[in-house]
Structure formats: structure tokens, C-alpha cells
Structure 1
Amino acid sequence: MNITTLERTRAAWIADEDAAVLGRIRDSHVHLAVWQRARPRDLDWLDSLDYDGIDDVQETLPVESLACTLPAKLLQAGYPEGPHSALGHEITALALRYARIMQTKSIRMRLEIVETDACRKFHMDNVRARLLMPLTEPGTQWIEAEAGPEEPINHLRAGDVGIFKGRIWAETPAILHRSPPIAGTGVARLLLVLDLPSPTRTAET
């Protein structure tokens, strides 16, 4: 993993093309760790999926059985047979990585279709640490808490994986995020959210 200027100055966030960067969320000064990558090509079918026939998936599942149980959950939600296997593999791999970082044996997963602005204000979730991966554009927006009004808004691209510290782990906000404004545009976004089991609050992002 490359050591960036941001790392040397102990910034509140760190990003890298190496997946190992996600483990840096355990560093005391890191409030956001981003694995920068392109969405896997075998998920390109998500861009043309008719979400009218798809239900949200919200489950708390043991990590050890996720590979066996997740495919049936996706089929029940309406994801097409065949292509859904690539989505299941992607979610399982990320859940295993998140579970190792957070030292947990089960995870709470939400695979949601978002068609509104959801949480339109920049905020910090009341959880320990939350993994977000936009599966379609536009992705979750984020800023540094001390950013001025003229500073640009950052966002996760489809395929990027971000782990955001929440208030349970860091009482003082350093990174704030929000759902991108899409109300009235006809756009639907697909978002994967991973949490520890029974989070205090499951605010939309």
C-alpha cells in the first residue's frame, strides 16, 4: 500500500487502491478508509436492472454461513438467477473482510434501492463503523467536518468501498456523509451497507 501525503500528515481519511487500506479504520486518527477501485465488470448488469421488481434485502447473518445463505436471499428479493451469483460473491467477500477488521462473527447487511434523497444532510451515523459500497451511481457523498463551504464535495464511485467511523467509536465528527440528492430525477441507486449486528441506529446513507 502506498504511503500518501495524507498519511504522513495524519489526515482524518485515507484512500488507496489496495484493499488492505480498509483495515486502517482501526487507527485512532482515521475516520474514513476508502478502497478505491472500479466496480467488477461482472456487475455491469446492475446498471440496466429493472428495480421495480426488486425488494430490499435486510438481514443479520453469521459470516461463516453467508456464502450458503446469501444466494437464496438475493433470489427471494427478485435478483435474476445466474447474474445474482456474481453479486453474492462480491457481498460475501466484502462481508468477510469487514468481519475480520471489526472482529465479529456476524454482520448486518442491507442491500437497498434508494430513490429519494434519504439523509440529505451531512451527518455521522450512531454506529461503531459502517461499510458502504455504491453498486451504481451516484455514490455516497462525504466531506471533512471542518471543510469550508467552498470546498468540493467528495463521493464514492460505484465499486469504491468506504468504512466510516460512527459516533460509538469516535464521538467528535471528523468525516460527515450524506445520500446524494436524486429526488425527482428518476434515478435509483443501489447501495450495500454492512454494520455490526443490532446497530443503535440504521440511518440511510
Structure 2
Amino acid sequence: MSTHESVLEKPTDFLDRKAVLAKDPNILTAIYDEDVNMAVWQRNHPNEVMLAIEDFIQQHPKTAKRLAVTPNTTHEVMYKSFGKTPYVTTLADDIALIVDMFCCLFEQKRAGLRLTVLERPMCPRFHVDLIPCRLVTTYQGVATQWLKNTEVDRSKLGQGNQGKSDEESGLFKQLSNINQLTQGDVALLKGENWQETSGGGLVHRSPAISDGEKRLLLTLDFIDF
């Protein structure tokens, strides 16, 4: 089954949902609020991490790994996949922190980790995921784009676009409706399978990537229910 919802109908008991953003990592707990469909920890990487990211992309330019990790096994799994080097250790330190936060927040024993170097958009059309929740962070490059609930016509998702582009289908009214995360942000995106979220999951897409640029994307998903 695809993890993307095609066309969504607004339920009669529809509750408008919003994104919340803050520089405090505790903002991520707001994902449990009924009226929130995205919680974002806004952060900037220190120079040490930025240098490690650059080295990682240079040495592993074709990375597309799907891994199962726990907070305690993240380093081991990263070393097994990419070798034990200083830059892998620095990157694994940061990833282990995020895995620990994700698993603690959702009471998960482990997480499904996807680490990918991208040269083109992974999901270029606006969509909603058929999952409970996903963590997304862009280590390098342009980050995820999203639409506010109040500024999107969900009937234009999937086949509802009638073959037109997102910009032409009527999904949103103007380009200024498109919001974008920032490199380094850690975001939790509710999908359609989060409790009572049907019709309110976050509408988002992968950004366009300029020729010659690379994007390093990390996502975490539930694999234990």
C-alpha cells in the first residue's frame, strides 16, 4: 500500500489543525495536541556537525539506506553501514539524539530510519502520508515544503488535480501559501493514521533541488505498534 493519500474528504467534525514551531526541543511534545499536525524544533547545526555532513556526502554520495535502530544501537548500525570514521561518529551522535527523542516521545522500542542523499525531489507533489507520524530533518540542502490547513483545497490532492501541477490545480491560491522548513529543523508530521486525524494530516512535498546540489535527508518512522 502506498504511504501517500490521494484524495481526502473533510470530515463533518473537522478540527482545523496548525503547525507549531519553536527553538526549544520540548515543542515536539505538542504533536499530541489535537489541533496540531506538525511540530518543529528549529535549530542550527554547529560547525562540527556541518563539516561532518559535508564529509559524509562527499564519501557516500549515493546513500539510500533503510535501517532499524534504537537509541543504543544507532552508532553501531551507522558504523556497520558507513564505517567508523570521525565524521560518521559526529553524524551518528546527532542521529542517536533524535532517535532517542523520537522513541521516548512515542514510547517506541526502535525506529525505522531512512538516510538518503538526494539529487532530485523524493515526493515532488503535495500529498498526505498514510502513516501515524513521521520525523523529518534535512541535514543539508533545501527542506520540506508544506501548506497550512486553512490554505489548501484537499479535493485537489491526488487524482483531484486532474493532471495539473500543484501550482495550477487549485490546491492552493498563491505561491506565498507555500511554507518551507529550514535546514536543520526537526519536524514531526502527522499523517492520516494518527488517531482522529483523518482529513487533517499535514500536506507537504519535497522541494525542487538545483542542478549540482545534494540534499541529505533523515526520516524516522514507527515500526513497532
TM-score with structure 1 length normalisation?
A: 0.81
Partner residue of 1:155?
Answer: 180
Q: 1:103 aligns with which of 103, 107, 119?
A: 107
How far the C-alpha of 1:74 sits from its partner, in A, is 3.0
Q: Deviations over 1:60-110 (max 9, x none)?
A: 1233433443333232xxxx8211111000000000001111110010000
Q: 2:203 aligns with which of 173, 176, 193?
A: 176
1:146 and 1:174 in contact (8 A); partners too: no
Q: 1:73 aligns with which of 75, 81, 91?
A: 81
Larger Rg: 2
How many residues are aligned here? 185
**Which is further off, 102-111 or 143-152?**
143-152
Q: 1:146 aligns with which of 137, 145, 150?
A: 150
For residues 177 and 138 of structure 1, what CA distance do their matches in structure 2 show? 14
TM-score with structure 2 length normalisation?
A: 0.74
**1:29-40 maps to which residues of 2 (within 5 A)?**
29-40=35-46
1:43 aligns with 2:49: yes
**Which is further off, 47-56 or 97-106?**
47-56
Partner residue of 1:59?
Answer: 67
2:21 and 2:40 in contact (8 A); partners too: yes
Higher relative contact order by CA 8 Å / sep ≥ 6: 1 or 2? 2
For residues 216 and 67 of structure 2, what CA distance do their matches in structure 1 show? 16
Matched AA of 1:16? A
1:34 and 1:163 in contact (8 A); partners too: yes
How far the C-alpha of 1:11 sits from its partner, in A, is 5.4
1:15 aligns with 2:39: no
How far the C-alpha of 1:132 sits from its partner, in A, is 0.3
For residues 54 and 119 of structure 1, what CA distance do their matches in structure 2 show? 18
Q: Deviations over 1:36-71 (max 9, x none)?
A: 111232121224642664422211123343344333
2:70 and 2:100 in contact (8 A); partners too: no
For residues 91 and 105 of structure 1, what CA distance do their matches in structure 2 show? 16
Task: Note the aligned Cα RMSD (angstroms).
Answer: 2.2
SS at match of 1:173: coil
How far the C-alpha of 1:174 sits from its partner, in A, is 4.9
SS at match of 1:89: helix
2:71 and 2:97 in contact (8 A); partners too: no
Partner residue of 1:135?
Answer: 139
1:186–1:88 CA distance, 2 compared to 1 (3 A): same
Matched AA of 2:30? R
1:121–1:146 CA distance, 2 compared to 1 (3 A): farther
Matched AA of 2:183? A
For residues 113 and 68 of structure 2, what CA distance do their matches in structure 1 show? 6
Partner residue of 2:165?
Answer: none
Any gaps of 5 or more consecutive residues in structure 1? Answer: 1-9, 200-205
For residues 198 and 186 of structure 1, what CA distance do their matches in structure 2 show? 38
For residues 62 and 86 of structure 2, what CA distance do their matches in structure 1 show? 15
1:103–1:154 CA distance, 2 compared to 1 (3 A): same
Partner residue of 1:189?
Answer: 215
Flag as ranges the 4+ runs of structure 1 deviating above 6 A: none
SS at match of 1:31: strand
